[in-house]
Structure 1
Amino acid sequence: MPDRLASGRHHLSREQVAANQKQRLFKALAAVMAEKGYSDTTVHDLTTAAGVSKATFYQHFTSKQDCFMSAYARMQQFVIDAIQAAPAAGTPMQRFAALLDRYLGFLALDPTTARLFLVEVNAAGPEAMRQRAQLQQEFVSGVAKVFKARSKADRFACQMLVAGISTLVTNALADADGDAVTALKTPILGFTERVMKVPAGG
């Protein structure tokens, strides 16, 4: 968790102080909800874990859900950036392998936080579920672009592939195990090559 700023003069701008406070709250969110779950976590739990006052919390967020959704949007952008960074050159399977590697690698870096947004999101309400659905569609679009999916059948194959990946990753994160996440890469690539009917060398 980011260090708590020392009291007194610290030569940081107001924006830097605010950024530090929000980062600590996001880290607290992941740590506390990993232990207590979304529903049983309170604003008091978050402020205590982050080392900030309730007044500071409400300067940044209107509620626990607002804090969760802000953290989720931040994670979502990281994932979208990874998907969009897939190389334009290479065979479809090479490009998909690079995309998958970035996605799994990102989740494995902080499996506790990844678990929060793949599992606890189900308890965070309709808005959170819509955000998750949007993220999954971004992933589908990235996969469809890689495999040049044009027909409804091809697009559906991409949707099924992404849904399968999501389920496998969620199961692997049940114990916040980053190694279990990265271990999925080889079997997913093998399955993808078969289901997407990629020709040899293609």
Structure 2
Amino acid sequence: MNIYGERMPNSSPRRLPRGRYALSREEVERIQRSRLCAAMAEVMAEKGYVATSVADVLQRSGVSRQSFYQLFEDKLDCFMAAFDVAADLLLQHLLEMVGADEHRMPGPDAIDDPLGGFERAFTAYLAALAIELPYTRLFLIEVYAAGPAAMRRRSELQDAITAVFADLMGVTDDAGRFTCQMVVAATSTLVTRAVAENDVEGLSALGPRVIAHVRTLWHAGAFGTIVE
């Protein structure tokens, strides 16, 4: 299954039927876009960004070249769309686990128990990385080969994760926010090696160690002023 719940076989995916059918143009484009993003992530997981061609993505997705260029300008444009899919999925997992509202603020249970909320959110983060390894490789590894625009998008994603982390922990001052930023940056580095090696067990094993370290930082006052 891909990120959209659609089955993505390794070869000869089922194409949309030719001629007239019940789906609207918008729905067809949504399906094609999702298949292309999934194919981009899957092929890059095997070949890397540089060696992946538009032709590779078309073969894996079963979408025509004409349809590809109706949706995307080029390979990088498709990569950026796939990156956004991965980022949305990751943030969705984190926010759901802390019961966040429409403003991305943690729910009352997380506010009453910020360390417990962090443990649930971090466990969900690692699970999300393991479930969608091709997308995970995309924004943790292949993003470096995709160029400056992709790196800026990666920085924005890390900033968003840092903001969720800080809100979850009730941090209110700059020193505490900087601690959150360091934890997020260090975690990204730690998980990258496991992702590069497709080591799902290694990803899971990081959870207790990082959670324990965050608890130590919390009790040492490293998160600065917090909201009680």
TM (normalized to structure 2)?
A: 0.81
What amino acid maps onto 1:51 in structure 2? G
Where structure 2 has 5 or more consecutive residues not aligned to the other structure, the ranges are 1-7, 100-106, 222-227
How is 1:1-202 mapped onto 2 (pairs within 5 angstroms)? 1=8, 3-85=14-96, 86-87=98-99, 88=107, 89=109, 90-197=112-219
Aligned positions, number: 200
In 2, Cα distance between equivalents of 1:52 and 1:84? 33
Structure scoring higher RCO (CA < 8 A, sep ≥ 6) equals 1
Greater share of helix residues, 1 or 2?
1
Deviation at 1:78, TM superposition (A): 2.0
In 1, Cα distance between equivalents of 2:175 and 2:24? 53
Deviation at 1:198, TM superposition (A): 6.6
Asked if the contact 2:45–2:138 (Cα under 8 Å) also holds between the matched residues in 1, the reply is yes
In 2, Cα distance between equivalents of 1:77 and 1:133? 14
Deviation at 1:9, TM superposition (A): 4.1
| Identity fraction in percent | 40
SS across alignment from 2:49: helix
Structure 1 residue runs of 4 or more that deviate by more than 6 Å after TM superposition: none
Deviation at 1:141, TM superposition (A): 1.0
Asked if the contact 1:38–1:120 (Cα under 8 Å) also holds between the matched residues in 2, the reply is yes
Deviation at 1:115, TM superposition (A): 1.1
Asked if the contact 1:115–1:176 (Cα under 8 Å) also holds between the matched residues in 2, the reply is no
2:4 maps to which residue? none
What amino acid maps onto 1:25 in structure 2? L
> Bigger shift: 56-65 or 189-198?
189-198
Change (3 A) 1:175 1:9: farther
In 2, Cα distance between equivalents of 1:182 and 1:7? 44
